[in-house]
A and B are shown apart, each in its own frame.
Chain A
Amino acid sequence: MQFATVLGQNLRCGLSPVSLRTTLPTTSQLFGNSQDGSFPLTRHSVVLAAQSHDPAERSRAIEAIAAAYWKPVYKYVRMKWSIEREDAADFTQDFFTRLLEKEFLDAYDLRKGRLRTFLRTCADRLFMNQARNSKRLKRGAGSPHLPLDFEEAEQELATVSRCESPEDRFDKEWVRSLFALGVQRLRVSCENGGKMVQFRLFERCDLEDADPTPSYSQLADEFGLAVTDVTNYLAFARREFRRCILDQLREMTPTEEEFRCEAQALLGVPVR
Chain B
Amino acid sequence: MNKVLLGLVLGAILGAIDGMTAWFTPAVRAQIAGIVIGSTIKGMIVGILIGGFARRVQSPVLGIAFGLALGLLLAFIVALMQHGYYFQIMLPGGIVGLIVGYATQRYGRGSQLQRT
Q: Do chains A and B touch in the complex (CB under 8 A)?
A: no
Chain A residues engaging chain B, CB cutoff 8 angstroms: none
Chain B residues engaging chain A, CB cutoff 8 angstroms: none
